[in-house]
Chains A and B, each alone.
Chain A
Amino acid sequence: MGLNRKDLLGIKDLSVGEIQLILETAEPMKDIIRRQIKKVPTLRGKAVINLFYEPSTRTRTSFELAGKYMSADTINISTSASSVVKGETLRDTGKTLEVMGADVVIIRHSASGAPHILAKHLSASVINAGDGFHEHPTQALLDMFTIREKKGRLEGLKVAIVGDIMFSRVARSNIWGLTKMGAEVRVIAPATLLPPDIEKLGVKAYTSIEEGLCDVDVVMVLRMQLERQQKGLFPTIREYSRLYGVTAERVRLARPDALVMHPGPMNRGIEIAPDVADGVQAVINEQVTNGVAVRMALLYLLTGGGNPHEAVN
């Protein structure tokens, strides 16, 4: 059984069963990455296009490798300009790629909902690689994969997400995914960076990092976009770091075996102390590896793949 859907636009639309299927399919994919010869023929003859309207080395490379390890033809299109500036609509760009034969279009865009526009007009599969501050579903999937791998489960775990919740697609996707999978989610941020009605998403909101980190199993640190300060949402980077930076001392408030995660790229010394980023509890590098495995699983499942063991052998 593959995924019975054309697109992956957000975690909000996924069922628990679908999330489980993706996470389980990612396990054998991870084995491929560990091999000497990292190549299976599963997606041979499929064209996978990375359409990136926002700079992102990490996510783009991860998708590109995921496609290549499975023998897909992968192409990257990077453009920092929005369609408004560029003069071609997103719909036209997508249609052009489709008539050239694209099977999967992976889109990163600074405007929330851009992948939805594309998905509505294309018969190719569309994967959201991050849109505005709406969703970043593959990040949440790789985070859930990592937690499950380390902790053996998601259900019943306490996960704290720290940082700019207001403008974070990573936070939103993780909130949907983790709450669906039975984890208890807390969000920690200054009041000016907590989105309206955030608790209606089934999380508990904290403005004190000390309270929020108490006894959690996972500390998920978000990247602080430095332009938030320029918009006046908090006084200074220095004060943010002092009040909300994840330091070794604060990590000790969590459970002793708590994981420390970060979607990268990190602002060391701002949202996360260097010794925490490099410490034994950090699983930040594993997150990156798992990202490739999860994206392989997704490409496989969205292009009609069923039994994951078929893909591997």
Chain B
Amino acid sequence: MAETAYWEAIRRAHDEEMANDELVIAMGEDIGVAGGTYKATLGLYDKYGEERVIDTPISENSYTGIGIGASMTGMRPIIEIMSINFALLALDTLINAAAKIRYMSGGQIACPIVMRTPGGTAHQLAAQHSARLARMFMSTSGLRVVTPRGPLDAYGMLKSAVRCNDPVIIIEHEQMYNLKEDIPDEEFFRPLEGAEVVREGSDITLIGYNFSVHLCLQAAKRLEGDGISAEVIDLRALKPIDRETIRRSVEKTHHAVVAEEDEAPVGVGAEIITGIIEDCFFALDSQPVRVHAADVPVPYNATLEKAAIPDANDVYQGALKALGKI
């Protein structure tokens, strides 16, 4: 076991996978000589050379497409997009090509690419650097979407993503790169499916993913002080969603809150709550609650930004609302 930061966990996964398989390459802006905006590939340019740790021009759609084309020949590219906002530039090759080539070809050609990108708000990065967008990828068939909440999953899921034969989008978070956790020294893999109960409880289920899992955990602690036992679920994967774990929990607690950092319409909360209604409507003792961002572009001003983005207090309040206490 060693205490490892989130970025170090990603770096270690890159390193091991590149050492393990010649066909694994990394691509992205400033990932080579500069070592990566989030240090995810620090030192790997020197170790594996410029043909395997590729500094790309600022051409998101086409270098993603080049990665996809290479994957069609058997390569396993890990593509870093500096911010999920810029992934919008790559939607054509990601959604129209990578997500559909296996299907359109009748199963003949796989596109085993990994796209990693931070998707969340940091501090005062303003509207064009604060997109979350998970909802767009999770609604696309042919993709896998995962959201590691800490170093354990950041390492183990990246390794699985490299080996898996499907295109995988890994949504990271600017506020988590320095998060630390003990992770085993020996190699391990974490599956790309399955939600995880990260805290057991009996009175209410708080459901999060990516950074919002941490908000749920903080809210659960506060609820404990009020004598309320909250269960916290980390979705881990947004595509496919593990509805079974959610159902089991809601049948036990009878109350549900979904915390998402994104805006509500057509979002993660909408999808999860629909699943709850379809799977265990009669287990509910109250209306499920969505905790989400305000329906605005993320403001620059710190006070406004704070008002726009949900925090642990919002999750706490959401839980009280679901329990009929406010």
Q: Do A and B interact?
A: no
Measured CB to CB, the residues of A under 8 A from B are none
Measured CB to CB, the residues of B under 8 A from A are none
